Amino acid sequence: MLRAFLILAIVFTYVAMVWGGLVRSSDSGLACPSWPLCYGSFEPPKDTAAKLEMGHRTVSSLAGIFTLLSFVYVWKKTRGLPKLTSTIALAFTFSAALTGMKMIKAETPHLKYLSHMLLESVHIYESMIILGFLILTYRLIYKRSMEEGVPLYAYIFALITMITGVLVRYTGSGEACGHEWPTCNGSLIPDFTSWKVTLQFLHRNLAYTTWLAFLLALVSSFNRTTLLSFVFVNLQFVFAISMVLTGFFLPLSFMDTAMGFFFFAWLTYNVQIKPTINLKVKEVW
Ligand code: HEM
């Protein structure tokens, strides 16, 4: 039961994050002006944007329910670190729900002010923390080996690239370099006249460093996990570059988000943790 609840919580959290990206890319963030129900009613809304927004709320609620159920089972059936990681996941579920409510009330999807941009980004970081800690909980209870996998340095580079990627998207800096790659506004090193250009340029360069980190990981320790991670980082490049070159074609924006958060989940499950302390936990029954 615990295993099923944890898997469902992870899957629904991931789907909610990708769905949220679709809501953002299709500008449907304010299609339901009230919260928690759309137009204050249980009746499904008629227009597509409102359906998308309501779908996101439904999937997020399911993610919350399964996170709560897995928290209850972790506290009943295990001891040690999983209790802490599942508590963190649950705490951030509550804060993400509150941030989501605040976002609708303050109409942050318009991204008019810096506070809007920050609140939108914080909401994504909260979701990443929930997903990350759910995966860590699963990993602590069920994964056998903690030693093999993605080196910590590659994980950290990828994480910083993702954190800046979220900022690029939720500050509306996606088009700051134009629809070009590898150039940015006509040159390899752009004029840093606007902070949006600087942010996008920073994100691109962090991505190149991340690519190098994964190449190094592959060369220094060739195994199935480092090989797949290198394939995934290349796929992320393909989706990101084609999204930019096509002027943010919706299916490619969707794939960029889906791949980005899948990559985060994969890395969190596979990041190498040195066995200096015994992290393995046994279920008590
Ligand atoms: C290691 C490779 C990369 C990773 C891990 C990564 C990660 C991310 C993530 C997590 C987001 C936010 C997605 C969302 O919230 O929906 C993002 C957005 C973005 N990334 Fe990357 N990225 C990478 C490479 C690149 C490259 C090479 C480019 C340049 C062509 C790029 C350009 C962008 C842009 C423009 C956005 C904003 C999209 C929008 O405004 O809709 N990324 N990235």
Q: In the predicted model, is pLDDT for residue 7 greater than 70?
A: yes
**Same domain assignment for residues 84 and 155:** no
- pLDDT at res. 92: 98
Ligand 1 centroid – CA 256 distance (Å)? 7
Instruction: Tell me if 74 sits within 8 A of 2, measured CB to CB.
Output: yes
The model carries a pTM of 0.91
Ligand 1 centroid – CA 141 distance (Å)? 32
- CA dist., res. 24 & res. 29, Å (int): 6
Ligand 1 centroid – CA 237 distance (Å)? 8
- pLDDT at res. 46: 75
- CA dist., res. 86 & res. 129, Å (int): 11
Q: What is the mean pLDDT of residues 180-208?
A: 96
Q: In the predicted model, is pLDDT for residue 279 greater than 60?
A: no
Mean per-residue pLDDT over the chain, rounded: 90
Looking at the structure of the chain, the number of domains it has is 2
**Same domain assignment for residues 204 and 99:** no
How would residue 257 be classed by pLDDT, with cut points 50, 70 and 90?
very high
**Same domain assignment for residues 28 and 160:** no
**Same domain assignment for residues 25 and 74:** yes
**Same domain assignment for residues 84 and 163:** no
Ligand 1 centroid – CA 165 distance (Å)? 5
**Same domain assignment for residues 170 and 250:** yes
Q: Which of 27, 28, 56, 161 to mutate to test the pocket of ligand 1 (most atoms within 8 A of CB)?
A: 161
Instruction: Tell me if 217 sits within 8 A of 150, measured CB to CB.
Output: yes
Residue 207, ligand 1, Cβ within 6 A? yes
Domain that holds residue 247: 146-285
